[in-house]
């Protein structure tokens, strides 16, 4: 019954609703978020200060009293610690994604986007991609600081890059959890605190800062199956750093596979949920 | 044939609140419909349903000839939305904002850039084009938001309270832009709490309250229904009130309403300015000194009060205070609430 009236338009439309449009729209949104980052450098700078503080505090406060593989040498703990800090840094980026999306909702930008003929997931994909760029930059700076305090890798460049790749993939997966939180809360403030609060148990009930050997069995069990532990174990292995847990749990024995599987699984589940939430979002 | 914006029996509930309770709209191509009502009347919900942001529980909506519920993405290509809260990215410059919106309307990067430049010129933002929108004044932000809605020159536009919060000068300027737009053939649905705005911009007006359209017609039709012109007289001396009232009733079509403390008398009349002159002569002849006299035509405010039993602003305040509670008392005493539904 509908005689579709042709829209007068400036320039030929290129949207075809296909994968090409999804990619293009996501990149347009990613660009927007990256421009924003350059206009609010404070956010990037604070994002850097926090992990650097962790490196310094943990190294020098806990450094001498931790026993890693029988050694209480502070240098050994520092090498043990770095993979944990790297992993913590990529996961903490989730809070930023959540806060950013909640802020867009609050300000009516999500309404604007949802009224445009753009690809459905592009607003969220664009945001998570921009966060990935920021996380990569943070990791780079952090790696330099780590080298300065004495962290070293003992493997080849391929394995080291592989470790950073895995870290970024897990970080990317986690930003989808952040995106879902951002879409679910009412204010950017709630997204910031809500986006952080669950990360503490996730990052601390793990092998990141202390070896799991001394945990009570049930807690140790949780820690060993924690996706976060898998990536830390994988990174230690690929960097050739001390403290690779000698455990019978499958993710600890195959940490690279485990973190790959976890990442893909998290993206599949949380991307689906977040995009669905976005479609029905109301400011 | 249905108009460029057509809705039938739109219903949307949020929990217990029926935000839309069976709304019918029909906006012929190239005309402006003003959706007039207090806060919480359902205006924004109606716009959100028609612009694909919200799925109604039931009902039918067709925009630019396309079924909104079945083909939302096609509808999005044909509409522009300018919101109540200026939805621009405040950290992006005006130019970057418009370019981004153009690209998301699926224009090529280059075309989007050219179009952004044109719009910045047209909306008098060229000088501020490369400053972050954060630095813009309220009026500039609104203009940028409106420009963003016009990137593809959509045949159908929705504006949700476009001038809320603007100062009179900026409001005036925005009205001119909107009028220019409409003279170019765009179909526009506009929501507003400002009766003056609907009066000035809209061809047809739908008065909305509690999620229903309680009256519709042109501004003149609605005004005629509230009962035409009135003469208002403020006498200087309190003693003269009774005499003056008697005199006025002789000229008028009904009883004079008297406000003792302001010494103001109001009487419905038919006859306009000529009658006014006669009344002045007669008052003078009887030695009744007056402070003020005037012929008052009904405003849309009067329309609103006579339809809903409360003024638009009072309703807005009450809605905020009491949420969905049934009794809305304040300010409506003494005025008979007669809700009527006109076809």
B155-179 tens-digit pLDDT: 999 999 988 888 888 888 889 888 9
Rounded Cα distance between B170 and B182, Å, is 18
> What is the torsion angle, in degrees rounded to the nearest 10, for the CA atoms of residue B87, residue B93, residue B98 and residue B103?
-110
Q: How many CB pairs under 8 A join A and B?
A: 125
pLDDT exceeds cutoff 70 at B324: no
Pick from A115, A122, A125, A282 the residue to mutate for testing the B interface (most B CBs within 10 Å): A115
Q: For residues B37-42, give the mean pLDDT.
A: 86
Among A100, A105, A117, A280, pick the best mutation site for testing chain B contact (most B Cβ within 10 A). Answer: A117
d(CA A101, CA A187): 10
Subunit contact A116:B104, Cβ cutoff 8 A: yes
> Rounded to whole angstroms, how far apart are CA atoms B343 and B341?
6
Q: Do B105 and A24 touch (CB under 8 A)?
A: no
pLDDT at B276: 86
Which residues on B lie below 8 Å from A117 (Cβ)? 73-74, 76-77, 104-106
Distance from the Cα of B299 to chain A's closest Cα (Å) equals 33
Which of B248, B236, B241, B235 is CA-nearest to residue B275?
Answer: B248
Dist CA B253 CA B267 (whole Å) = 7
Contact A117 B154 (CB under 8 A): no
- Cβ within 8 Å, pair B65-A4: yes
In this prediction, residues A263-271 reach a mean pLDDT of 96
With 70 as the cut, is the pLDDT of residue A242 above it? yes
A99-154: pLDDT as tens digits: 999 999 888 899 899 999 999 899 999 999 999 999 999 999 999 999 988 899 99
Compute CA distances A153 → A145, A163, A241, B75, whole Å.
Answer: 14, 11, 7, 56
Dihedral sign of CA atoms B47, B51, B57, B59 in order: positive
∠ CA A21-A26-A29, rounded to 5° = 130
Q: Which of B286, B282, B339 is nearest to B308 (CA)?
A: B339
Distances (CA, A) of A9 to A15, A208, B151: 13, 55, 9
| Option in B76, B86, B106 nearest A115 (CB) | B76
**Cα–Cα distance, A225 to A176 (Å, whole number):** 20
Answer whether B12 touches A (CB < 8 Å): no
**ipTM exceeding 0.90?**
no
Q: Is B132 on the interface with A (CB under 8 A)?
A: yes
> What's the whole-number mean pLDDT along residues A61-65?
74
Residues of chain B contacting residue A36, judged by C-beta atoms under 8 Å apart: 89, 91-92
Q: What is the pLDDT of residues B103-135, one digit of tens each?
A: 999 999 999 999 999 999 989 899 999 999 999
Asked if A112 has any chain B CB less than 8 Å from its own CB, the reply is yes
Q: Residue B249: what pLDDT?
A: 86
DSSP state letter for A243? -
Q: What is the mean pLDDT of residues B31-46?
A: 90
């Amino acid at each position: 019954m509908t005689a579709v009236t042709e829209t007068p338009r400036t320039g030929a439309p290129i949207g075809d609703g296909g994968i090409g449009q999804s990619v293009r729209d996501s990149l347009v949104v990613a660009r927007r978020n990256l421009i924003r980052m350059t206009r609010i450098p404070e956010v990037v700078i604070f994002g850097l200060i926090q992990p650097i503080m962790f490196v310094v505090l943990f190294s020098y406060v806990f450094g001498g009293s931790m026993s890693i593989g029988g050694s209480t040498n502070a240098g050994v703990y520092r090498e043990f610690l770095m993979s944990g800090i790297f992993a913590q840094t990529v996961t903490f980026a989730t809070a930023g994604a959540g806060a950013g999306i909640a802020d867009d909702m609050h300000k009516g930008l999500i309404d604007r986007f949802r009224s445009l003929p753009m690809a459905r997931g592009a607003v969220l994909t664009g945001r998570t991609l921009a966060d990935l760029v920021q996380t990569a930059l943070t990791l780079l700076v952090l790696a330099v600081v780590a080298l300065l305090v004495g962290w070293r890798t003992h493997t080849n460049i391929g394995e080291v890059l592989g470790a950073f790749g895995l870290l970024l993939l897990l970080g990317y997966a986690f930003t989808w959890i952040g995106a879902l939180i951002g879409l679910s809360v009412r204010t950017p403030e709630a997204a910031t605190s809500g986006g952080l609060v669950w990360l503490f148990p996730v990052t601390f009930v793990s092998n990141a800062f202390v070896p799991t050997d001394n945990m009570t069995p049930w807690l140790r069990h949780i820690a060993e199956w924690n996706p976060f532990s898998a990536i830390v174990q994988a990174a230690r292995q690929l960097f050739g750093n001390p403290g690779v847990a000698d455990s019978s749990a499958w993710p600890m024995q195959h940490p690279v596979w485990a973190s790959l599987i976890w990442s893909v699984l998290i993206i599949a589940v949380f991307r689906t949920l977040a995009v669905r939430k976005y479609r029905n979002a109301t400011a | 044939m249905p108009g460029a914006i057509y809705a039938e029996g739109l219903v949307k509930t949020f929990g217990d609140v029926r935000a839309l309770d069976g709304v019918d709209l029909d906006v012929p191509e190239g005309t402006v419909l003003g959706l007039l009502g207090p806060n919480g009347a359902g205006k924004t919900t109606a716009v959100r349903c028609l612009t694909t942001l919200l799925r109604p529980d039931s009902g039918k909506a067709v925009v630019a000839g396309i079924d909104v519920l079945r083909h939302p993405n096609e509808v999005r290509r044909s509409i522009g939305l300018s919101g109540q809260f200026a939805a621009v990215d405040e950290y992006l410059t005006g130019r970057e904002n418009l370019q981004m919106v153009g690209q998301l309307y699926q224009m090529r990067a280059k075309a989007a850039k050219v179009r952004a430049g044109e719009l910045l010129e047209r909306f008098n933002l060229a000088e501020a084009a490369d400053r972050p929108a954060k630095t813009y004044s309220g009026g500039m932000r609104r203009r940028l938001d409106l420009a963003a809605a016009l990137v593809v020159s959509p045949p159908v536009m929705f504006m949700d309270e476009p001038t809320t919060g603007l100062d009179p000068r900026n409001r005036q300027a925005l009205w001119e832009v909107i009028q220019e737009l409409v003279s170019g053939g765009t179909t526009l649905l506009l929501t507003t709490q400002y009766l003056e705005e609907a009066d000035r911009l809209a061809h047809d007006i739908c008065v909305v309250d509690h999620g229903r359209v309680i009256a519709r017609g042109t501004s003149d039709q609605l005004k005629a229904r509230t009962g035409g012109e009135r003469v208002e007289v403020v006498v200087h001396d309190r003693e003269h009130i009774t005499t003056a009232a008697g005199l006025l009733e002789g000229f008028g079509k009904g009883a004079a309403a008297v406000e003792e403390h302001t010494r103001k008398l109001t009487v419905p009349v038919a006859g306009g300015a000529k009658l006014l002159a006669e009344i002045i002569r007669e008052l003078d002849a009887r030695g009744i000194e007056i402070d003020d006299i005037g012929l008052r035509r009904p405003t849309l405010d009067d329309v609103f009060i006579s339809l809903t039993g409360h003024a638009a602003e009072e309703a807005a305040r009450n809605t905020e205070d009491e949420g969905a509670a049934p009794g809305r008392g304040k300010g409506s005493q003494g005025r008979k609430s007669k809700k009527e539904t006109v076809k």
